[in-house]
Amino acid sequence: MKKLPLLFFFILLAFYATSYAAQTIYKPITGTLTIRVEDYFNNTHSKTQYVLHADDETAYKLNFTDKISKHLKSGQRITINAANINKKDLFVADKNIMITKNILPTQLEAPLGRQDTLVMMVNFQDKPNEKPATQTEVGNTVFKTVNDMFYEFSYRQATVTGNVIGWFTLPINSTESCDVMTNLLPKIAQQMARNAGVNLSQYSHLIYFFPRTNSCPWGALGDLGGNPGSIWLNGVNTGPVTAHEMGHNLGLYHAHALDCQGAVNTGSCAEL
């Protein structure tokens, strides 16, 4: 008779496990993949985001439960099977990702020639007078400093040209979440640019320059590939940072090194 409570416990446990499994229903979500690099220039730290822009206009941040597939590229159409799709942070295994439309090889190569760039200077409705730079100052950074860097590093085969527009005051506050800054801000800024008569299709890089907000911990964010490639500058107006993010737009990852403190690599070196 003493074994009955233990037997009852295992029956109850099996019931709840079966019930939970039945509730965990995997559903397919289809959309376009964007890979972004968060750069924290104050401590040389960075993170890579994988964002699925679903066909219903919901942006899902993908968290991988196993090794990230090297076949994933910005701009791919993918379908994933995920549970708990009511949340914007999804955990997904590589085996549950299907690439439905790939990218042409030429779209993955860093192109030379003219890099047509539009800089949109935007601020927030709770701080409409906060304008940390002028059009001339931002234009000099992008179309002089960055252009000179690209021209030299490409052996005179790449240039950066384009326009600066704004300031535009967005109907959002500076305290909104970082998801709002990365997903909603571009949509509003692009519509404001169209209302101002700008043809966005002629640009291969779209830069969003806005006053520093603590809602986003990074200093800058850039799409890894994509056409057009997007860049977010969180109050940063310097040539090296902007050029760095444009490099991500062209499909370039970070370079890495091992810090062995002057010794031979014994397996305990720090990766930089």
Res. 83: pLDDT tops 70: no
Per DSSP, the residues of 140-152 read: HIIIIIIHHHHHH
Res. 36: pLDDT tops 60: yes
Specify the 3-state DSSP secondary structure of 119: strand
The reported pTM is 0.80
Specify the 3-state DSSP secondary structure of 129: coil
Calculate mean pLDDT across residues 214-222: 96
pLDDT, tens digit, 9 for 90 and up, residues 129-145: 999 999 999 999 999 99
Specify the 3-state DSSP secondary structure of 184: helix
Cβ-based neighbours of 141, under 8 Å, separated by 6 or more: 237, 238, 239, 242
Give the percent of the chain with pLDDT over 90. Answer: 61
Mean pLDDT across the chain: 85
Least confident segment among 200-214, 235-249, 257-271: 257-271
Calculate mean pLDDT across residues 247-258: 79
Least confident segment among 26-40, 63-77, 104-118, 156-170: 104-118
Res. 111: pLDDT tops 80: no
Kindly indicate the confidence band of residue 20, based on its pLDDT and cuts at 50, 70 and 90. very low
Residue whose structure tokens are 């509003």: 188
Q: Does residue 251 contact residue 225 with C-beta atoms inside 8 Å?
A: yes
Name the helix (H) or strand (E) containing 239.
helix 239-249
